[in-house]
Copies of this chain bind each other. A is one copy, B any other.
Amino acid sequence: MLKIKKIVELRKILESYRLNKNIIGLVPTMGAFHAGHLSLINRARRDCDQVVVSLFVNPAQFSPGEDYNKYPREFESDIQKAKAAGVDLLFAPNEDELYPRKLLTHIEVADITDCLCGKTRPGHFQGVALVVAKLFNIIQPDKAYFGEKDWQQLKVVERMVYDLNFPVEIVPLPVVRDKDGLALSSRNQYLNQVEKRQALVISEALKMAADKIKSGQRYAVKITGLVEEMIAKTDGVELEYFSIRQPENLTEVKVIKRKVLLAIAVRLGKIRLIDNILVEVSDNVSDYAKEQNPSGNNYRG
């Protein structure tokens, strides 16, 4: 595995890959690799001739007061994990390499960044879009791999790629969870044993909400109420948001008629965790109609 810090050096190597008609896969990361990252790397390994992993804790996507400074940095063990997973090239630039001076260029993906995490993390998705655009231009991958755990981020990246015609295929992969259901996150390291137990309510709440939908509940406000209640009963966990959204454009859903995204963000003290789940709704029109009108009469008197 090659370890590269400089853009100029990286470009030379990638140029030779391209001239050999190699398919190049990129897994952009902030390091502290867990099984979620490894699932992205493994898939890239299967799809591509050359797997590039970028490892860069991107200051532009942290708001002031967020955990940029204490975000886990585990460079040595990340190198070992990447090597073991068959990564060809690890691009781990210093901050100066990507931000040599104050950038004047900003990329904003409107509308879909106004809600969910965009609301409490101003500038976060601008920072994500910026670093992803830079990495795409530096690495020029054929495919890039993103976890669905950060669903809104995935949608922002997909939309930017579509709008700006980046010549890259975005490959999303499902959330990876531990045996208790907790979605893997580099930030889980911040949790002590008590918090780790408390944090299980996140995926349990999503599961409860999904079950309600599956058993016929179509009113978002009812489901949201149940989730709020469940979180409120859990010591140490504060709900930032729970929201039912159209999965692609992230508009709020009031009455569930088709596939929806259930998205949640909570805080355990200073630790902020997010999770989400997609719920397919089959036979939805008739379910909804039944609920509106149990008699089967299409007109209400």
Q: What is the size, in residues, of chain A's interface with B at 8 Å between Cβ atoms?
A: 29
A91 to B107, CA, bound (A): 26
Q: Is the CB of B21 within 8 A of A103?
A: no
User: A140 near B: Cβ within 8 Å?
Assistant: yes
Interface residues of A in 91-140 (CB under 8 A from B): 103-112, 129-130, 133-134, 137-138, 140
Which stretch of A161-169, A202-210, A260-268 is in the interface?
Answer: A161-169
CB distance from A251 to the nearest CB of B (A): 13
Interface residues of A in 44-59 (CB under 8 A from B): none
A164 to B126, CA, bound (A): 13
Q: Which residue of B lies closest to A167 (CB)?
A: B137
Q: Is the CB of B159 within 8 A of A140?
A: no
Contact (A164, B133) CB under 8 Å given A105-B108, A108-B105, A112-B104 = yes
CB distance from A261 to the nearest CB of B (A): 17
Question: A18-61 CB contact bits vs B (8 Å, 1 = yes)?
Answer: 11010000000000000000000000000000000000000000
27 contacts between A and B (CB under 8 A): A11-B167, A18-B18, A19-B19, A19-B21, A103-B163, A104-B109, A104-B110, A104-B159, A105-B108, A105-B109, A105-B129, A105-B159, A105-B160, A105-B163, A105-B164, A106-B108, A106-B109, A130-B164, A134-B163, A134-B164, A134-B165, A137-B164, A137-B165, A137-B166, A138-B165, A138-B167, A140-B167
